[in-house]
A and B are shown apart, each in its own frame.
Chain A
Amino acid sequence: MKLNNIELQFDDFATEMTKLKNEKHFDYLVTIIGEDFGEEGLGCIYILENTESHERCSVRTIAKQIGEEYVIPTTINLWNAANLLEREVFDFLGIKFLGHPDMRRLFMRNDFKGYPLRKDFDASPEANMFPTTDEPESDFTTEWNLDKQGNLVATQHRMFDEDDFIVNLGPNHPSMHGVLRLQTVLNGETVKHIYPHLGYIHRGMEKMCESMTYPQTLAFTDRLNYLCAMMHRHALVGVIEEGMGIELSDRIQYIRTIMDELQRIDNHLLFLGTCAQDLSALTAFLYCMRDREHVLNVMEETTGGRLIQNYYRIGGLQDDIDPNFVQNVKTLCKYLRPMVQEYLDVFGDNVITHQRLEGVGPMNLEDCINYAVTGPAGRAAGWHNDVRKNHPYAMYGKVDFEEVTMTGADSMARYMVHIKELYQSLNIIEQLIDNIPEGEFYIKQKPIIKVPEGQWFFSVEGGAGEFGVYLDSRGDKSPYRLKMRPMGLTLTGAFDKMLKGQKLADLVATGAAIDFVIPDIDR
């Protein structure tokens, strides 16, 4: 989608945004992109979606400068998803959101100097020496507001009460799927509050992309959520191709769709496995891993990779499909269908699983939209948010598949959505695999790839939610600003809401049934 931004000024920003949400029904905040627009100053682009018509719009506002500081009114009271998204912008660009109750850094350490995505950022190693001390952590959060004279005033909020029992789940914890840290306030075994701490595997991909050529940026996407490598790269390649106006052959589109779905099966199998493992059903985990091995084998024969696939490139594919690919995929589909029932028999239908997951981590439709809980977790609450249906790309507009939605809105429903999506993915693959048309697998590009000026946003349906890439090009061979909408960030933001009043064991169960991968959140 090429962005045609609605420009809003600081003074009427809050009222106009409220109108957009309440009158025009733009109730899903896809992402907030903070950007240094050069001479215009710092600002944000908000991408919004109307969840009824699936129409999207983008809003741009330039931050107001007060002395050395940049401010924009917060939108957290309209969209709760803005909580972490605005903190991210604050972290990278130093824009303070007025009225946001928790303006702490999100990814970088609290003692990090400077704001890395500003164009005048001092990236020399001396400016930020490698830290040898623990990260200083405050028990207070800061809220910024303007007083009547237009000066910035800070208000401090306490995070913990005097006699709160605080357990740090993570960064090293067996069921935190990596290095997520959830600072959990407990009352006995009951969760009172959860503060997510992110950034333990933050690699600054968006910053790095700004100094790399377009082909070089591709190498990063596979290293986000490594279980959705294909989909991530599809989004990035898609946004660049859209910007350059490349027409792809049908063969490329077919193969990309098949590969995306194979990757989705891979992701969902791992999800089903780790979900079981987090509830200590190690056997069910290994059954899933056993069958995932076959999926990876099929993909590896063509792509040469198991986790880091490196398959899509700007203008097509790295290589044509392997001669045995069609046969292998067919065998795989035939093999996989009965196996899904086995996961249900050994784990999914088990009474203990039902007891552990039903009613755990509930989040209704309205909250899901408000917190931007996309993907299977949102569909479990009945939200029709499948990007493949709403904004079809590649072959998805032409294949026949069902968007799986449920009404349970709890962890059990999330698990079952994954199971049902496995069958849908198999359906899609079986429809396409016999009809891959002849044609080019790669459309030759110039040695140096340049994208004309403009702003684009391209979304794909990742394994755990919507994955989008925003590209601002100024006509160079490297992007001016590249922003990825991670799938897991908003899910993490919803944790506090889902788990208030639930048990500590439910935290693990909810985390198990929400499919997040930390490198994707941290980027």
Chain B
Amino acid sequence: MYDFSIVTRWIDSLLRHTLNLGDFWSILIECILVGICILTAYALIAIVLIFMERKVCAYFQCRLGPMRVGPWGIFQVFADVLKMLIKEIFAVDKADKMLYYIAPFLVIIASVGTFSFLPWNKGAVVLDFNVGVFLLTAISSIGILGVFLAGWGSNNKYSVVSAMRGAVQMISYEMSLCLCLISAVVLTGTMQIGGIVEAQHGAWLIFQTPVTWLAFLVFLVAGNAEANRGPFDLAEAESELTAGYHTEYSGMGFGFYYLAEYLNLFVISGIAATVFLGGWMPLHVAGLDGFNAVMDFIPGIIWFFVKTFAIVWILMWIRWTFPRLRIDQILKLEWKYLMPLMLVILTLTTVWVALV
């Protein structure tokens, strides 16, 4: 198994020993390097996701999707990005200007923040705290603030309704999302992302107990709601509230929401893949050593991407099949079905850990 920490160690020693820089400078340079890498990956993955969504959605709908810009339409997203970058950014009259301008940044900060927790490969986990899962949920909830402030600050009635819906929905679904993560923490015994992956060396988490796959499904549903995607895209609700909280944003202000929407999808899928499907951990079956050795030849980063994109695809499949729910139904689903179910699963998992 290839370990990415060889590369990071080499850079670290290059800075500290060969160039003889002190702690401050070497850490600063490393942070900048990592930051650039993350932002680049963020932008690239967004482009891939947007293109993927357009094509996948088209194929579900018996269409071809973008076909004109470049062969098979592959440059369509670049054209869109260019358009969005050169569009004028302007604010609505009587909008609360400060909230209006801060809001997209809050959303993007939450999105990049959670993005940094993803374990790409062995030894390539950017933020690997011992309270990782805890911090992850904390950072992701900043995004709600962004949605709420945008809706409130836009001076638009649709946006206000949307902001209320968004806040209610996201706060509710955070509950079962966290319960899912806690049940994983109970099983693996650690809150550290790297540790959770390592704990799945023998078998992925969803194979470890008879109830974890249920937690995985709940996580997908709750994650979909948390990422504000159909059938839970109430806050956006383009047929009811035009575009909801980002109705009044143009240019990159809107671009940030657009980016964050797709990256949140990726982050949710990535976390699901990490926590329940072993992240970069190859498929190991106890007893079949030859098989396990072959699986180990495939690099971890490929495992991670394959798992994540498979989940992204499933979420797109769900999105492009179902109609949207109503606000009371969405809350009913969470508080009457998903949350009680998760509490039961959590209890069962605890019992399992205690007895097995």
Binding partners A and B: yes
Interface of A toward B, CB cutoff 8 Å: 165-167, 173-175, 186, 189, 276-284, 286-287, 290, 346-347, 350, 352-353, 355-356, 503-506, 508-509
B321-A346 in contact (CB<8A): yes
Residue of A173, A280, A503 with most partner-chain B CB within 10 A: A280
Given contacts A174-B238, A504-B240, contact A286 B325 (CB under 8 A): no
With a cutoff of 8 Å between Cβ atoms, the chain B residues found around residue A276 in the complex are 323
Residue of B321, B323, B324, B326 with most partner-chain A CB within 10 A: B323
**In the bound complex, CA of A287 to CA of B326 (Å):** 23
Residues of B90-140 at the interface with A, using a CB-CB cut-off of 8 Å, are none
Given contacts A280-B233, A286-B63, contact A503 B239 (CB under 8 A): no
Using an 8 Å CB-CB cutoff, how does the interface string of B325-345 with A read, 1 for contact, 0 for none?
111110000000000000000
A356-B320 in contact (CB<8A): no
A189-B161 in contact (CB<8A): yes
A347-B240 in contact (CB<8A): no
With a cutoff of 8 Å between Cβ atoms, the chain A residues found around residue B208 in the complex are none
A sample of 20 cross-chain residue pairs with beta-carbon separation below 8 angstroms, ordered by A number, consists of A167-B157, A277-B239, A278-B239, A280-B231, A280-B238, A280-B323, A280-B324, A281-B321, A281-B324, A284-B323, A286-B63, A352-B323, A352-B325, A356-B323, A356-B324, A356-B329, A503-B327, A503-B328, A505-B237, A508-B240
Partner of A505, one of B57, B230, B240: B240
CB-based nearest B residue for A279: B323
**In the bound complex, CA of A504 to CA of B237 (Å):** 12
Nearest 9 CB-CB pairings of A with B: A280-B324, A279-B323, A281-B323, A286-B61, A175-B239, A505-B326, A508-B240, A278-B239, A167-B157
Using an 8 Å CB-CB cutoff, how does the interface string of B263-297 with A read, 1 for contact, 0 for none?
00000000000000000000000000000000000
B168 CB, nearest partner CB in chain A, Å: 10
- B72 interface residue (CB < 8 Å to A): no
CB-based nearest B residue for A286: B61
Partner of A504, one of B57, B62, B161: B161
With a cutoff of 8 Å between Cβ atoms, the chain A residues found around residue B239 in the complex are 174-175, 277-280, 508
With a cutoff of 8 Å between Cβ atoms, the chain B residues found around residue A283 in the complex are 60-61, 320-321
A289 CB, nearest partner CB in chain B, Å: 9
CB-based nearest A residue for B324: A280
With a cutoff of 8 Å between Cβ atoms, the chain A residues found around residue B328 in the complex are 503
Interface of B toward A, CB cutoff 8 Å: 57, 60-63, 157-158, 161, 230-231, 233, 237-240, 242, 320-329
**In the bound complex, CA of A211 to CA of B240 (Å):** 42
Residue of A186, A353, A505, A506 with most partner-chain B CB within 10 A: A505
Partner of B62, one of A277, A286, A355, A356: A286
With a cutoff of 8 Å between Cβ atoms, the chain B residues found around residue A173 in the complex are 242
**In the bound complex, CA of A506 to CA of B240 (Å):** 10
Interface contacts (Cβ under 8 Å), in number, total: 78
The B contact surface, by secondary structure, is: loop
CB-based nearest A residue for B321: A283
CB-based nearest A residue for B160: A165
B230 CB, nearest partner CB in chain A, Å: 6
**In the bound complex, CA of A278 to CA of B323 (Å):** 9
Further contacts, 4 of them, CB under 8 A, given A280-B239, A283-B320, A356-B323: A174-B242, A286-B61, A350-B323, A356-B324
B62-A280 in contact (CB<8A): no
CB-based nearest A residue for B240: A508
A362 CB, nearest partner CB in chain B, Å: 16
B166 CB, nearest partner CB in chain A, Å: 13
A347-B323 in contact (CB<8A): yes
Given contacts A165-B157, A280-B231, A280-B233, contact A175 B327 (CB under 8 A): no
With a cutoff of 8 Å between Cβ atoms, the chain A residues found around residue B327 in the complex are 189, 503, 505
With a cutoff of 8 Å between Cβ atoms, the chain A residues found around residue B62 in the complex are 286-287, 290
A352-B242 in contact (CB<8A): no
B231-A352 in contact (CB<8A): yes
Given contacts A277-B239, A280-B238, A352-B231, contact A167 B323 (CB under 8 A): no
Partner of A503, one of B61, B320, B323, B326: B326
A282-B240 in contact (CB<8A): no
With a cutoff of 8 Å between Cβ atoms, the chain B residues found around residue A347 in the complex are 323
With a cutoff of 8 Å between Cβ atoms, the chain A residues found around residue B238 in the complex are 174, 280
**In the bound complex, CA of A509 to CA of B158 (Å):** 17
**In the bound complex, CA of A352 to CA of B231 (Å):** 9
With a cutoff of 8 Å between Cβ atoms, the chain B residues found around residue A506 in the complex are 326
CB-based nearest B residue for A166: B157
B322-A355 in contact (CB<8A): no
B146 CB, nearest partner CB in chain A, Å: 22
CB-based nearest B residue for A278: B239
With a cutoff of 8 Å between Cβ atoms, the chain A residues found around residue B57 in the complex are 282
Residue of B231, B233, B237, B239 with most partner-chain A CB within 10 A: B239
**In the bound complex, CA of A279 to CA of B326 (Å):** 9
**In the bound complex, CA of A503 to CA of B327 (Å):** 9
**In the bound complex, CA of A166 to CA of B239 (Å):** 18
B60-A356 in contact (CB<8A): no
CB-based nearest B residue for A512: B239
**In the bound complex, CA of A347 to CA of B329 (Å):** 17
**In the bound complex, CA of A186 to CA of B324 (Å):** 21
Partner of A280, one of B157, B161, B237, B329: B237
**In the bound complex, CA of A503 to CA of B61 (Å):** 30
**In the bound complex, CA of A281 to CA of B324 (Å):** 7
With a cutoff of 8 Å between Cβ atoms, the chain A residues found around residue B230 in the complex are 280
B92 CB, nearest partner CB in chain A, Å: 16
**In the bound complex, CA of A284 to CA of B320 (Å):** 9
**In the bound complex, CA of A158 to CA of B57 (Å):** 48
A282-B61 in contact (CB<8A): yes
A225 CB, nearest partner CB in chain B, Å: 21
With a cutoff of 8 Å between Cβ atoms, the chain B residues found around residue A352 in the complex are 231, 322-325, 329
**In the bound complex, CA of A279 to CA of B324 (Å):** 6
CB-based nearest A residue for B325: A352
**In the bound complex, CA of A347 to CA of B60 (Å):** 14
**In the bound complex, CA of A342 to CA of B231 (Å):** 19
**In the bound complex, CA of A509 to CA of B238 (Å):** 13
With a cutoff of 8 Å between Cβ atoms, the chain B residues found around residue A186 in the complex are 161
**In the bound complex, CA of A352 to CA of B230 (Å):** 12
A412 CB, nearest partner CB in chain B, Å: 13
Partner of A355, one of B60, B161, B240, B326: B326
With a cutoff of 8 Å between Cβ atoms, the chain A residues found around residue B61 in the complex are 282-283, 286-287
Residue of A353, A355, A503 with most partner-chain B CB within 10 A: A355
With a cutoff of 8 Å between Cβ atoms, the chain A residues found around residue B325 in the complex are 352, 355-356
A175-B323 in contact (CB<8A): no
Given contacts A167-B157, A189-B161, A286-B63, contact A355 B321 (CB under 8 A): no
**In the bound complex, CA of A165 to CA of B157 (Å):** 9
**In the bound complex, CA of A278 to CA of B241 (Å):** 11
Partner of B320, one of A282, A350, A353: A282
**In the bound complex, CA of A101 to CA of B61 (Å):** 49
With a cutoff of 8 Å between Cβ atoms, the chain B residues found around residue A175 in the complex are 239-240
**In the bound complex, CA of A215 to CA of B325 (Å):** 49
**In the bound complex, CA of A286 to CA of B321 (Å):** 11
Residue of A277, A503, A504 with most partner-chain B CB within 10 A: A504
